[in-house]
Amino acid sequence: MRFTETPLKGAFVLELEERGDDRGAFARTFCQKEFTDHGLKPTVAQCNLSYNYKAGTMRGMHYQVPPAAETKLVRCTTGAIYDVIVDLRPESPTYLRHFGVELTAANRKALYVPELFAHGYLALTDGAEVAYQVGEMYTPGCERGIQHNDPTLGIKWPTAVSVISPKDAAWPAFDPAKAFA
């Protein structure tokens, strides 16, 4: 795997290093030692899969607070998504900055999301399927979220949101006083 750090410290885009022959190709998508060598948390507590019927489907912006803060390794296995993370670590020099990347079945890139980063994505194609390796169990009492279109964040989504769950639509604007409460 090739690890490219994003402008947000601790967040990485991962690219496969394929080994090919006349049968096709092989590539490692996760290696505990390589993650540790890059200072990443290699814990996988659960694996999730989301399927999005329509382009324009928004999922996010989600995060969990301690004691169940979670990392994520996100990969689009079918179709394409625009994946965005926001640094919510108050002590970070990139606090409240965001980073977005297109993850597609064709480019096979993945995004490593550190703890205390909000995460969300917009499906760019019908039938976009997304696989997540998550470093902590889903803990409803620790779940938080932020509006995907919060003007404080200034995220420029590449296309309009046409489908969003009532829960994701109801997330509040970012409030530092309530972010970890």
Active-site residue set = 62, 132
Q: Are 143 and 34 in contact (CB under 8 A)?
A: no
Q: Are 14 and 103 in contact (CB under 8 A)?
A: no
End-to-end CA distance of the chain: 37
In terms of Cβ atoms closer than 10 Å to its own Cβ (0-12, 13-18, 19+), residue 178 is: exposed
Residue 10, C-beta contacts closer than 8 angstroms, at least 6 positions apart? 39, 40, 114
